[in-house]
Structure 1
């Protein structure tokens, strides 16, 4: 069973021999290996070689040509009824160099449970040894890419899948209040060589980005996974499904890991591709030498046939994966009422948590007062209201918070400013007044006098602002 797979570009100055040396370093660094440096000394970047010691085996296959240099390493080890196979492939052309690493685990006994899938240390070994290379607009690394206020075009290309990246994008949107809901540095390190982690700078950036991407961007602290070339989006946030930042991060990692294991690999970065190239070169060498040895021809052709068979099996696995994925989408569509969503999202982006849902829920509650008892409309509206009754009413809490802040206010004290900014207001001075803009949206601008008249003035202002926003 394939438990992990990823592929990523590395610096172009890496060559096949350095790649083999790095893999050897990883193997020999394991406290469980019985292989020794002396056993691995004959491994070369071209040709075929193999080593076996106890429950461990290592096989390499390398080919060098005018179009590319490629080497594949397959390392197997058995322990406690489990057989682990790690296949790493290096491919370097005139323009770039890519690496693929995949791990599979098989059990020899039905009672043995497969352990949880983990990211192999080999990924970090290769990344530390060679460094990541550009993948479209972004570079492979262990740190997140933090957008600046001027990076709207970059963010839009990433969201739309037009940035030329092969690795998926994890987009961490700016929350309504405070910092990101996940530890972006740790998440980027965990997903290094698996996905790009991009961090949004602030809420006004999100509002501006919405116009460029047709509201396809996640927002308000939500973490979104975007697939290259516009391949869809998944959203993760603290709420019903995830109760803590660590749960969100784990869910994002698991989603990326599972998706990458199901993704069709780069053809040049597979064992079958290297095997086919090597076999073809062997056949050409036999023909050029005028060899008449039938057994040598048969062996070379058999290896090429094995490579093609492996490719067919890969294609069949991809077909099965796509069928399974299609069934998931069909089930989601069926659950949504035959493929029609109850409410299509508009172009307006929430300015606070659950805003659209709260507004729709309030409208449903109001509509319930206007329909006949025991009517079909009453039953449908009651069902919708009950299905969404456990949503936090941030509108009500925001109205109360605004009253507490502005009650009896005279002027703009630092504590008051901080609390207003925490709610999402930006504050500037405008003559005898303070100008408040909510969530960077210039449609929602309010003024407060620098010197209030009495305690009722602040409550009146809170009531006016609250009725317009919440």
Structure 2
């Protein structure tokens, strides 16, 4: 099975959004659902550990009282796989975490997520229970920079940190906004703040702090994670693009971030269950003093086993989150609707995993060193290299071959082993050896079985580099 995150966010809520209101909203959300509605949901208004079950789906509410957390999980199965929808309220620190994930199976049909705020998030915002995020309201409306300039000043200067990304939109040269900011804010509600240039304050003021040229008609995405480089999307030519494509470019960039953020344990359903188990284990062990004398050794063994089990559970939960986020990053790169393949594969096949891609990116990197600065070509090639990491495998192979062939005299067992591990097929050709790269006879070279020329090895390394790498 494979898990794909389709929605993930975390934002502050008001003091009035208590755990009772939370459960009421969960039930209201479910009862308003077209496909997930349970027929018989009754809640006594007091219990925070309840569940309802019907064919193919289950809704569970659970509380971790000593941590001030209450959570719900809706789990259902359909033709796409197993859906897990988690809502988690930290009613002490007053923030909510929302996560929707799809656990796919071998029977899952093709599925591409549509990034859109779930009804649960929209109802929190509609009923004005969403809070203030570094002086910026969490809502469905775009904010004008003129009114929130003091907030942006603090965020840009590193004096304040938002829980959510901020999408800054500047006007084009003609004074018009390049995108419908109201529609954008509605689609990003609960996931990001949308702030646009008004009549007075302009984004160009922050060119130095944001390390950009303050271009007109630009979307700048500031991420809460300071280690993540802010994203600049030039929309100055947006009039030539489909409005939906423009919107999708920005939305996908935000979701690429939010769906990859790792949460602490009590902000995940699995983490809450592990913590609950730990608490229950502690409660059981608290009675050990009653039988301590006669069962001391047994309890020590039991406690040690429990401790190991809990540690293993925590490690597994962290690893699951890490792998899910890593997998999510790969999925979103492949499935992003606004990213079309630049180059289609031809007849050539990879000699090793990713060979063709590695060579193309190395060519682009070499080209970038000599291209004229501040030109369209430089900008395009730089953008491609920044958004496509690679392992520099050709360069590593080049160094391996140079080192192996330095001072070549004859083909010893060690050298032969190195060459074969790099893909060379070595055959006997009279007084010479024939070295064929991955058995493809277009890429062959001959080498004397014994050589007195000190440069022979380096000459061969150069030939391999030019012909095969």
TM-score, normalisation: structure 2: 0.62
Q: 1: CA distance between counterparts of 2:139 and 2:39?
A: 31
User: Residues 114, 244 of structure 1: CA spacing in aligned structure 2 closer, same or farther, 3 A cutoff?
Assistant: closer
Residue of structure 2 in register with 1:209 after alignment: 206
Q: Secondary structure at the match of 2:160?
A: coil
Residue of structure 1 in register with 2:51 after alignment: 50
1:262 equivalent in alignment to 2:269? no
1:197 equivalent in alignment to 2:197? no
Q: 2: CA distance between counterparts of 1:69 and 1:103?
A: 22
Is contact 2:115–2:251 with CA below 8 Å preserved after alignment?
no
Residue of structure 2 in register with 1:315 after alignment: 322
Per-residue CA distance 1:48-75 (angstroms, 9 max, x = gap): 443321011122221112xx41012111
Is contact 1:218–1:235 with CA below 8 Å preserved after alignment?
no
Residue of structure 1 in register with 2:125 after alignment: 127
Residue of structure 1 in register with 2:160 after alignment: 163
Q: Secondary structure at the match of 1:166?
A: coil
Q: 2: CA distance between counterparts of 1:162 and 1:128?
A: 30
Residue of structure 2 in register with 1:69 after alignment: 68
Per-residue CA distance 1:339-362 (angstroms, 9 max, x = gap): 7695667xxxxxxxxxxx6xxx8x
Quote the offset at 1:24 in angstroms. 1.2
Give matches, 1:27-38, under 5 Å.
27-33=30-36, 35-38=38-41
Picking from 218, 221, 224, the partner of 1:225 is 221
Residue of structure 1 in register with 2:387 after alignment: none
Picking from 9, 12, 15, the partner of 1:12 is 15
Residue of structure 1 in register with 2:141 after alignment: 143
Q: 1: CA distance between counterparts of 2:359 and 2:215?
A: 27
Q: Secondary structure at the match of 1:262?
A: coil
Quote the offset at 1:76 in angstroms. 1.0
TM-score, normalisation: structure 1: 0.61
Is contact 1:152–1:205 with CA below 8 Å preserved after alignment?
no
Residue of structure 1 in register with 2:78 after alignment: 79
Is contact 1:161–1:228 with CA below 8 Å preserved after alignment?
no
Is contact 1:83–1:106 with CA below 8 Å preserved after alignment?
yes
Q: Secondary structure at the match of 1:198?
A: strand
User: Residues 16, 341 of structure 1: CA spacing in aligned structure 2 closer, same or farther, 3 A cutoff?
Assistant: farther
**Matched pairs, number:** 344
1:60 equivalent in alignment to 2:57? no
User: Residues 324, 105 of structure 1: CA spacing in aligned structure 2 closer, same or farther, 3 A cutoff?
Assistant: closer
Q: 1: CA distance between counterparts of 2:260 and 2:379?
A: 39
Q: Secondary structure at the match of 1:6?
A: strand
Is contact 1:283–1:300 with CA below 8 Å preserved after alignment?
no
Q: 2: CA distance between counterparts of 1:246 and 1:20?
A: 36
Is contact 1:131–1:141 with CA below 8 Å preserved after alignment?
no
Residue of structure 2 in register with 1:348 after alignment: none
Is contact 1:224–1:234 with CA below 8 Å preserved after alignment?
yes
Q: 2: CA distance between counterparts of 1:183 and 1:332?
A: 36
Is contact 1:182–1:245 with CA below 8 Å preserved after alignment?
yes
Q: Secondary structure at the match of 2:231?
A: strand
Q: Secondary structure at the match of 1:27?
A: helix
Residue of structure 2 in register with 1:25 after alignment: 28
Q: Secondary structure at the match of 2:189?
A: coil
Residue of structure 2 in register with 1:428 after alignment: none
Quote the offset at 1:163 in angstroms. 2.7
User: Residues 49, 171 of structure 1: CA spacing in aligned structure 2 closer, same or farther, 3 A cutoff?
Assistant: same
Q: Secondary structure at the match of 1:31?
A: coil
Per-residue CA distance 1:418-462 (angstroms, 9 max, x = gap): xxxxxxxxxxxxxxxxxxxxxxxxxxxxxxxxxxxxxxxxxxxxx
Q: 1: CA distance between counterparts of 2:363 and 2:99?
A: 35
The gaps in structure 2 that reach 5 residues or longer are 334-353, 382-469
Residue of structure 2 in register with 1:452 after alignment: none
1:2 equivalent in alignment to 2:5? yes
Deviates more, 1:102-111 or 1:313-322: 313-322
The gaps in structure 1 that reach 5 residues or longer are 346-356, 362-382, 388-470
Deviates more, 1:84-93 or 1:74-83: 74-83
Residue of structure 1 in register with 2:98 after alignment: 101
Quote the offset at 1:123 in angstroms. 1.5
Give matches, 1:40-439, under 5 Å.
41=44, 44-45=47-48, 48-65=49-66, 68-93=67-92, 96-110=93-107, 112-119=109-116, 120-129=118-127, 131-148=129-146, 154-160=151-157, 162-202=159-199, 205-210=202-207, 213=209, 215-216=211-212, 218-230=214-226, 231-236=228-233, 237=235, 239=237, 243-290=241-288, 306-318=313-325, 335-337=364-366, 342=371
Residue of structure 1 in register with 2:408 after alignment: none
Deviates more, 1:328-337 or 1:100-109: 328-337
Is contact 2:89–2:95 with CA below 8 Å preserved after alignment?
yes
